[in-house]
Structure 1
Amino acid sequence: MTVHKSQQRHTHVKQLLGKMDPEVAASFTYKQRKALDKVINTRGWNNHQIDFRPTLAFPFLPWSFYIVFLGGVNKRSLNSTERFTAAMVFVTALTIVGMMVLGLVFVILYLLKSWLGIDLFPNESLGIWDQFKDLFK
């Protein structure tokens, strides 16, 4: 059974009105309901710069699953839990990037040390210098 878009649009307005006090919902005029329908179904408020929504369907299960990853500029204010989560994500990302940069610096210093012929531990090697030299043969 397919649901037409117009029926689906009216369903959204009915759901919204159903969550209101019945007296308030009954007070809406036809023109106001149309305005609600227009606002609810305007897609401008949910355009995202990153919008990734893959669906996973397994043949042996009767359900399918979806994952949503959205990204863009946040235009709403955050509550305290969201601010804390955002701070933790920022600190975690900063730590990961910092460790990657630090690792890259160590590899560059190791290559520089090997190029200069400095041998800190005799008869020990990570093999990075040999692999690096092999890239330019």
Structure 2
Amino acid sequence: MHQLDHDLEKENTQVRKTLREDPTIASLLSRMPESVQHSFTEEQLANLRVALGARSWGKHKIDFRSTISFFSYRYYYVFVAGRNRRELTRAEKRMGLLIQSALLTTFLIFCSMMGLLVLYLIKSALGVDLFPSFSLGIWDWFKENILN
């Protein structure tokens, strides 16, 4: 009977040591006073590990975190980016598609407008006058501010 108690105690010590060596738990405990660090039971440590593991951010290519002080308050902000490894819900997929469509449309409109501007400047530089006695004033502005 005495040997069984000794084996159980040895196993509990190894579990406690293993939990305390876990990087998440070790990081948490390192920020506490030593007296508090040793006050946790194995069950408490195991539950802390489960709770902290659920919030784990993992590794990201871009992980920028900082704080801003505003009067007597401190606010934090986090910017993380990397490859998405999680499954998206239908709503998230639709929102992503909507945002991609909006960005692509904006990019195409911008490129079209820049292309039209370049064509207009080339037309004006060559002296082609499509509408007699009408000018947008872009060529005059361009000559005055950019070419001089």
TM-score (norm 1): 0.59
Q: Is 1:72 the counterpart of 2:72 in the alignment?
A: no
In the alignment, the residues of structure 2 paired with residue 132 and residue 93 of structure 1 have an alpha-carbon distance, to the nearest angstrom, of: 29
Residue 118 of structure 1 corresponds to 128
Residue 136 of structure 1 corresponds to 147
**Could you list the runs of 5+ residues in structure 1 that have no partner in the other structure?**
10-28
Check whether the contact 1:51–1:71 (CA below 8 A) recurs between aligned residues.
no
Structure 1 stretches of at least 4 aligned residues deviating more than 6 Å after TM superposition: 41-44
In the alignment, the residues of structure 2 paired with residue 43 and residue 90 of structure 1 have an alpha-carbon distance, to the nearest angstrom, of: 28
Q: Using the TM superposition, name which of 97-106 and 123-132 deviates more.
A: 123-132
In the alignment, the residues of structure 2 paired with residue 103 and residue 54 of structure 1 have an alpha-carbon distance, to the nearest angstrom, of: 40
In the alignment, the residues of structure 2 paired with residue 95 and residue 86 of structure 1 have an alpha-carbon distance, to the nearest angstrom, of: 14
Residue 51 of structure 1 corresponds to 64
Cα offsets for 1:72-94 (capped at 9, x unmatched): 22111111011000000000000
Q: Shift of the alpha carbon at 1:130?
A: 2.1
Map of 1:1-137 to 2, 5 A cutoff? Answer: 5-6=28-29, 33=46, 36=49, 40=53, 45-49=58-62, 51=64, 55=68, 57=70, 59=71, 68-134=78-144, 135-137=146-148
In the alignment, the residues of structure 1 paired with residue 54 and residue 30 of structure 2 have an alpha-carbon distance, to the nearest angstrom, of: 12
- What secondary structure, in the 3-state scheme, does the structure 2 residue paired with 1:70 have? strand
- What secondary structure, in the 3-state scheme, does the structure 1 residue paired with 2:58 have? helix
Amino acid aligned to 1:87: L
Q: Percent identity?
A: 26
Q: Shift of the alpha carbon at 1:120?
A: 1.5
Cα RMSD of the aligned pairs, angstroms, is 3.8
In the alignment, the residues of structure 2 paired with residue 89 and residue 35 of structure 1 have an alpha-carbon distance, to the nearest angstrom, of: 38
In the alignment, the residues of structure 2 paired with residue 40 and residue 56 of structure 1 have an alpha-carbon distance, to the nearest angstrom, of: 29
In the alignment, the residues of structure 2 paired with residue 81 and residue 127 of structure 1 have an alpha-carbon distance, to the nearest angstrom, of: 47
In the alignment, the residues of structure 2 paired with residue 35 and residue 52 of structure 1 have an alpha-carbon distance, to the nearest angstrom, of: 23
TM-aligned CA distance change 1:75 to 1:103, over 3 Å: same
